[in-house]
Amino acid sequence: MADEILERNDGAEGLILVGIQRRGVQIAARIAQLIKDRDGATVPLGALDITLYRDDLQTVGPRPVVGRTDLPGDLEGKRVVIVDDVLFTGRTIRAALDELADFGRPARVGLAVLIDRGGRELPIQPDVVGKHVEVPLGGRVDVFISELDGRDEVVLNVMERT
Amino acid sequence: MTPTASSVLGKDLLGLEHLSAEQINVILDTAGPLKEISERAIKKVPTLRGATVVNLFFEASTRTRISFEFAEKRLSADTVNVASSGSSISKGETLVDTARNLEAMRIDMVVIRHHASGAAKFLAERIESNVINAGDGTHEHPTQGLLDLLTLRDKLGDLRGKRICICGDVLHSRVARSNIWGLTKLGAEVAVCGPRSLLPNAIGEMGVQVFDRIEQAIEWADALNVLRLQLERMQAGYIPSLREYNRVFGVTSERLDRAPRDILILHPGPMNRGVEIDSDVADGPHSVILDQVTNGVAVRMAVLYLLAGNKPTLATAARGDA
Give me the percent of chain B exceeding a pLDDT of 90.
78
- Gap between the Cα atoms of B103 and B92, Å rounded: 19
B259 and B183, same domain (yes or no):
yes
B164 and B193, same domain (yes or no):
yes
Establish if B8 belongs to a structural domain. no
Instruction: Please tell me whether residue B206 adopts helix, strand or coil conformation.
Output: helix
Chain-chain contact of B45 with A68 (C-beta, under 8 angstroms):
no
Q: How far is CA A14 from CA A42, A48, B224, in A?
A: 10, 19, 48
pLDDT for residue B317 is more than 50: no
Instruction: Please tell me whether residue B17 adopts helix, strand or coil conformation.
Output: coil
- Gap between the Cα atoms of B126 and B321, Å rounded: 7
Establish if B15 belongs to a structural domain. no
pLDDT for residue B316 is more than 60: no
Does residue A63 belong to the interface with chain B, where contact is any CB pair within 8 Å?
A: yes
| CATH code of residue B188 | 3.40.50.1370
pLDDT for residue B315 is more than 70: no
B41 and B148, same domain (yes or no):
no
Establish if B1 belongs to a structural domain. no
Chain-chain contact of A65 with B5 (C-beta, under 8 angstroms):
yes
Chain-chain contact of A62 with B6 (C-beta, under 8 angstroms):
yes
Closest of B155, B115, B195 to residue B295, by C-alpha: B155
Chain-chain contact of A99 with B309 (C-beta, under 8 angstroms):
no
Instruction: Enumerate the H helices of B81-139 as residue ranges.
Output: 95-104, 119-124
Q: Quick one: average pLDDT of B305-321? A: 64
pLDDT for residue B88 is more than 90: no
B237 and B311, same domain (yes or no):
no
pLDDT for residue B91 is more than 80: no
B135 and B149, same domain (yes or no):
no
Does residue A155 belong to the interface with chain B, where contact is any CB pair within 8 Å?
A: no
pLDDT for residue B197 is more than 60: yes
B147 and B290, same domain (yes or no):
yes
Does residue A68 belong to the interface with chain B, where contact is any CB pair within 8 Å?
A: yes
B246 and B300, same domain (yes or no):
no
Establish if B103 belongs to a structural domain. yes
Does residue A148 belong to the interface with chain B, where contact is any CB pair within 8 Å?
A: no
B309: alpha, beta or left? (left if phi > 0; alpha if psi -120 to 50): left
Which of B13, B45, B307 to probe the A interface (max A CBs under 10 A)? B45
Question: What is the Cα gyration radius of chain B?
Answer: 20
Q: Quick one: average pLDDT of B78-88? A: 83
The partner residue sitting opposite A64, judged by closest CB among B3, B40, B42, is B3
Establish if B2 belongs to a structural domain. no
The partner residue sitting opposite A64, judged by closest CB among B4, B29, B42, is B4
Q: How distant is the Cα of A140 from the closest Cα of chain B, in angstroms?
A: 9
B290 and B303, same domain (yes or no):
no
Instruction: Please tell me whether residue B131 adopts helix, strand or coil conformation.
Output: strand
Over the stretch A51-109, which tens digit does the pLDDT of each residue have?
A: 999 988 766 667 788 999 999 988 999 999 999 999 999 999 999 999 999 999 999 99
| Residues of A whose CB is below 8 A from B308 | 57
Binned at pLDDT 50, 70 and 90, residue B318 comes out as very low
Segment holding A38, helix H or strand E: helix A24-39
Over the stretch B207-259, which tens digit does the pLDDT of each residue have?
A: 899 999 999 999 999 999 999 998 877 778 889 889 999 999 999 999 999 99
Over the stretch A11-25, which tens digit does the pLDDT of each residue have?
A: 888 999 999 998 999
Chain-chain contact of A64 with B29 (C-beta, under 8 angstroms):
no
pLDDT (0 to 100) of residue B7: 46
pLDDT for residue A33 is more than 70: yes
B312 and B240, same domain (yes or no):
no
| Residues of A whose CB is below 8 A from B45 | 52-53, 99, 102
| Residues of A whose CB is below 8 A from B46 | 52-53, 98
Chain-chain contact of A65 with B4 (C-beta, under 8 angstroms):
yes
Establish if B239 belongs to a structural domain. yes
B114 and B206, same domain (yes or no):
no
pLDDT (0 to 100) of residue A138: 85
The ipTM estimated for the assembled molecules is 0.85
pLDDT for residue B3 is more than 50: no
Closest of B148, B184, B179, B182 to residue B264, by C-alpha: B148
B212 and B241, same domain (yes or no):
yes
Establish if B5 belongs to a structural domain. no
The partner residue sitting opposite A69, judged by closest CB among B8, B33, B309, is B33
pLDDT (0 to 100) of residue B235: 79
Over the stretch B92-144, which tens digit does the pLDDT of each residue have?
A: 788 889 888 999 999 999 999 999 999 999 999 999 999 999 999 999 999 99
Binned at pLDDT 50, 70 and 90, residue A39 comes out as confident
Chain-chain contact of B45 with A49 (C-beta, under 8 angstroms):
no
- Please enumerate in sequence order all residues whose Cβ is within 8 A of that of B79, keeping only pairs 6 or more positions apart, or say none: B52, B53, B54, B55, B69, B72, B73
- Gap between the Cα atoms of B282 and B260, Å rounded: 19
Q: How many domains does chain B have?
A: 2
- Gap between the Cα atoms of B167 and B191, Å rounded: 8
Burial class (CB in 10 A: 0-12, 13-18, 19+), B22: exposed
Instruction: Enumerate the H helices of chain B as residue ranges.
Output: 21-34, 63-74, 95-104, 119-124, 142-156, 174-185, 214-220, 232-235, 242-249, 253-257, 279-282, 289-307, 314-321
Domain range enclosing B30 = 21-140+296-321
Over the stretch B271-307, which tens digit does the pLDDT of each residue have?
A: 999 999 999 999 999 999 999 999 999 999 999 999 9
pLDDT for residue B17 is more than 80: yes
Over the stretch B135-171, which tens digit does the pLDDT of each residue have?
A: 999 999 999 999 999 999 999 999 999 999 999 999 9
Q: Quick one: average pLDDT of B77-103? A: 85
Establish if B228 belongs to a structural domain. yes
Angle at B33 between CA B27 and CA B39, to 5 degrees: 130
Q: Report the side by side order of strands in the sheet with A15-20.
A: A45-48, A15-20, A79-87, A108-116, A128-132
| Residues of A whose CB is below 8 A from B47 | 52-53, 57
B167 and B200, same domain (yes or no):
yes
Delineate the domains of chain A, giving CATH numbers in brackets. 2-137 (3.40.50.2020)
By C-alpha distance, the chain A residue nearest B44 is A102
